[in-house]
Amino acid sequence: MYFLRSNSVRVVIAVVGVLGALFAPPWLPLISMGILALRFRPWEVFAIGILVDFLWLPGAFFYPLPLFTIAAIALVWGLEPLRKEILV
């Protein structure tokens, strides 16, 4: 039951992040990415980061820098030690 509830929360936050990338100010997907990265080991954070950069960032081959994708990688790997401590 806890697993289901936890997964539902994860899906809801991910959906909020994806829709936020389209409809909301950029801080909403960023916060979604942060919450997901704190609570789970989420590949969705990469998807949201890429979505934001592919939608709004001009250029290719990492110039200008895809800040949201970099933030996604930093969040996922930077918070790994903390997750290792708090996740059951």
By the criterion CB under 8 A, which residues form the site for other proteins?
20-26, 41, 43, 46, 49-52, 54-62, 64, 66-69, 72-73, 76-77, 80, 84, 87-88
Q: Are 17 and 25 contacting, i.e. CB atoms less than 8 angstroms apart? A: no
Greatest Cα-to-Cα distance within the chain, rounded to the nearest angstrom:
45
Residue 37 identity: A
Torsion-angle region of residue 48: left (phi > 0), alpha (psi -120 to 50) or beta?
alpha
Q: Which is nearer to other proteins, 5 or 58 (CB)?
A: 58
Smallest gap from residue 25 Cβ to other proteins (A): 5
Closest CB to other proteins among residues 5, 76: 76
Nearer to other proteins, 64 or 82 (CB): 64
